Homo-oligomer: A and B are copies of this chain.
Amino acid sequence: MNRDTANRRLRAGIVGGGQGAFIGAVHRIAAELDGQAEVVAGAMSTDPQRAAMSAQSWFLKRSYTSFQEMAETESQREDGIDFVIIATPNYLHFPVAKVFLEHGIHVISDKPMAFTLAEAQAEVALVERGDLIFALTHNYTGYPTVRHARELVRHGILGDIRKVLVEYVQDWLMEPVEKAGNKQALWRTDPTKSGISGCVGDIGTHAENLLEFITGLKISSLCADLTTFVPGRALEDDANMLLRLENGGKGILTCSQIAAGEENNLTIRIYGTKAGLEWQQMEPNTLLFKEPGQPQQILRTGLPYMSSEAQAATRLPAGHPEGFLEAFANLYKMIIADIRRVEEGNKPMGGYPTVHDGLRGMQFVTKVVESSQNGSIWVNL
């Protein structure tokens, strides 16, 4: 690498995420939060007017209407972007990543990594051939409490994992809002934009990723029952599945976008031979630690007993709640530090989801659909 990144904020570009797509602003805020990067360029919409207005509202220095053009131009400018953020609908994730990687620009992509399993495999090959950072924003792994949970498992505090219950339930698709003009719903329920899966691809993969991230265990087989409850919808909006883990542990994963009255309830419970854990995304600064015969303990972000992994992901004193954006920014912090390392000729240190997690997610989705379509049978993963 040859960029001098030492005494400046990194420069970022963004593809997608124009006005109306909340995830664009999430990426910008998260990228800039620690003062280590600035979004300076964007191809925020294929609609020129929307692209221009989106760029202007952020005071971007350069606005494009084509991501290919952006990749070419930026890669040739002396003050071009160091990395690109991909915040488009799913079917564009891989094509955009490919172009920027080929132009020597680091990539931070929304999940899922690709539209199909084949694309995902191609992407792994592409990334492994080069020296560029490719990171995937499975953002829930950025919470200090989640990172602490992983440390507890790693250090054997839970013993061998026996049972995992993970769920991610929402209600925002319980009515056919895609027919009422909800853009977020429109592409997510459209197989040509979203892929072979609806609810599982959108949120089930976060649950799967969180389970494997914290436990360090792979799901070895699963039996899935997908349902489309809203009439006329092409993709499932609800899923229940039994899981078996590589170590003999058992689990359940349920995700839904028709769970009446639920906002964004991602909850995981893990039970080992020594102790258990519980974490709820909607109150993310709390981690419940459960030792048999002992009082349950309320572990809280920012207190001195938290692991150094958790402390590194904490910005405020205890009792000053940190949330979704801060967790998202924790991934960016690690990724940006790695981009700096790579640009200075050093090895990246990781700690955030990569192309391998992205492939894993695509395999998971593929197998879940396969199980359900064959009568909800057991399939190996």
Tell me, rounded to whole Å, the shortest Cβ–Cβ distance linking A297 to chain B. 4
- Are B316 and A26 in touch, CB under 8 angstroms? yes
The copy count of this chain in the complex is: 4
Q: Are A8 and B326 in contact (CB under 8 A)?
A: no
Give the chain B neighbours of A294 by CB distance below 8 A.
Answer: 261, 305
A interface bracket (residues with beta carbon within 8 Å of B)? 35 or more
Q: Is A81 an interface residue (CB 8 A)?
A: no
Interface of A with B (CB < 8 Å)? 7-9, 22, 25-26, 28-29, 32-35, 39, 56, 58-59, 158, 162-163, 165, 167, 169-172, 174-175, 223, 225, 227, 229, 238, 240-242, 244, 250-252, 254, 256, 258-265, 269, 271-276, 281-285, 289-300, 302-305, 315-326, 375-376, 378
Instruction: Determine the chain B residues whose CB is within 8 A of the CB of A376 once the complex forms.
Output: 223, 242, 378
Q: Name 20 A/B residue pairs within 8 A (Cβ), A-sorted.
A: A7-B59, A22-B315, A29-B315, A162-B229, A223-B242, A240-B242, A240-B251, A240-B252, A252-B254, A256-B271, A259-B269, A261-B292, A263-B319, A282-B285, A283-B321, A293-B305, A295-B297, A295-B305, A296-B297, A316-B324
Residues of B within 8 A of A285 (CB): 282, 323
Chain A residues touching B, majority SS: loop
A174 touches B260 (CB 8 A): no
Q: Are A227 and B250 in contact (CB under 8 A)?
A: yes
Docked-complex contact A259 and B163, CB < 8 angstroms: yes
User: Contacts of A238 on B, CB cut-off 8 Å?
Assistant: 162-163, 250
Query: Which interface residue of A7, A272, A315 has the most chain B CB atoms within 10 A?
Result: A315
Give the residues in chain B near A165, CB-CB below 8 Å: 167, 254
Residue in contact with A304 in the complex, picked from B7, B28, B293, CB distance below 8 Å: B293
- In the assembly, what is the distance between CA of A163 and CA of B259, in Å? 7
Are B229 and A300 touching (Cβ within 8 A)? no
Contact assessment for A300 and B305 in the assembled complex, using a CB-CB cutoff below 8 Å? no
Distance of A304 Cα from B134 Cα, bound (Å): 37
Find out whether the CB atom of B258 lies under 8 angstroms from the CB atom of A163.
yes
Q: Which of B58, B158, B321 has a CB less than 8 Å from the CB of A284?
A: B321
